[in-house]
Homo-oligomer: A and B are copies of this chain.
Amino acid sequence: MVLIFNQNREFDIIAIGRACIDLNANEYNRPMEETMTFTKYVGGSPANIAIGSSKLGLKAGFIGKIPQDQHGRFIKQYMSEKGVDTSNMVFDTEGRKAGLAFTEILSPSECSILMYRDHVADLYLEPSEVNEDYIKNTKILLVSGTALALSPSREAVFKAISLAKKHAVKVVFELDYRPYTWHSQVETSIYYSLVAQLSNVVIGTRDEYDVMENLATPGNNDDTVKHLFAHDAELVVIKHGVDGSYAYEPNGATYHGQAYKTQVLKTFGAGDSYASAFLYAIVNGKDYETALKYGSASASIVVSKHSSSEAMPTVQDIEDLIKDRS
């Protein structure tokens, strides 16, 4: 099966949530204490997905709040240059700052992030800053889980979902779980469940679904999808790292996509590039089996490079890699 999108929409995808700054270590394979210089990139899961989608040829837009400072202006300008519509990115008027992520690459498999997320502008997006006319003009509304972590951003997302459902826009929920900002895993579980029940497509890692289900030990995919298909879900994607990813349909059909091995530089950005390419594929009517390959190939490319946003691949890059490995 394929997902049916409304065709007469100006945008293929509009993402809502955070657009931030990544400061990536220039000297790596060492503790950050020994890193002396950093390179600046746009970051944040939904911003990366919008940028990645745009680079693949989708018409992408973004709803979010950015600081009225040098970092905020850089974010808007960069996204605009990459083809993302920034007309619904609003400047914060209270002096709030952009979120920062200093990346530490101890080794290709040991990466960590030093986060600055206190009072960041993106979490102060107001419901009143979400416009119905914008949302009704897209095929997909992409919701990032981190945007649910705090009010008023949480309510802005609920409003956006409500408008999307009113106008038959497909709601895609990328779980994108980051423990900072949340008060507790129980709180995360409550809001992830509410949003997942309202979403048409849910994408996340098995670990992230465990958070959504508030499980102490790993859950199983059958239980997860059974619960979601009792509500509005039409497609559920569960990622299992090196074991590849699975797509589930309400009719019981299941698809498996392998992971593509690569020379890993760092693990950041894998999920965002996966989502961009997977959504590109389904918007373009490709079957789910192919979409899983696109996602995996795109992730494989980004983890071999220094940034998350700047490294987003082209369709050609993705198709070349899939052909090479088949």
Contact = CB atoms under 8 A, between A and B. Distances in A.
A187 B37 contact: no
B71 A114 contact: yes
Contacts of A151: 151, 183, 187
A114 B190 contact: no
A54 to B, nearest CB: 20
A233 to B, nearest CB: 16
A224 interface: no
A73 interface: yes
A186 B104 contact: no
Q: How many copies of this chain are found per oligomer?
A: 4
A286 interface: no
Given A37-B37, A119-B118, A155 B71 contact: no
Interface stretch (A25-33, A85-93, A136-144): A25-33
A36 interface: yes
A37 B40 contact: yes
A194 to B, nearest CB: 7
A70 B186 contact: no
Contacts of A23: 23, 38
A190 B158 contact: yes
Contacts of A100: 100, 116
A74 B25 CA distance: 14
A84 to B, nearest CB: 17
B70 A162 contact: no
A128 to B, nearest CB: 6
A290 interface: no
A127 interface: yes
Contact of A186 (B74, B159, B186): B159
A131 interface: no
A186 B162 CA distance: 13
Contact of A114 (B69, B128, B162, B187): B69
Given A39-B37, A102-B70, A186 B116 contact: no
A97 interface: yes
Nearest to A39: B37
A80 interface: no
Interface string A13-37: 0000000000100100001110111
A70 B38 CA distance: 14
A152 interface: yes
A234 to B, nearest CB: 18
Interface of A: 23, 26, 31-33, 35-40, 69-71, 73-74, 77, 97, 100, 102, 104, 114, 116, 118-119, 127-128, 151-152, 155, 158-159, 162, 183-184, 186-187, 190-191, 193-194
15 contacts: A26-B37, A32-B71, A32-B74, A33-B73, A33-B74, A36-B40, A37-B38, A37-B39, A100-B116, A118-B119, A119-B119, A127-B184, A155-B190, A155-B191, A159-B186
- Going nearest first, the 8 A-B pairs with the smallest beta carbon separation are A32-B70, A118-B118, A33-B74, A118-B119, A127-B186, A158-B190, A155-B190, A37-B39
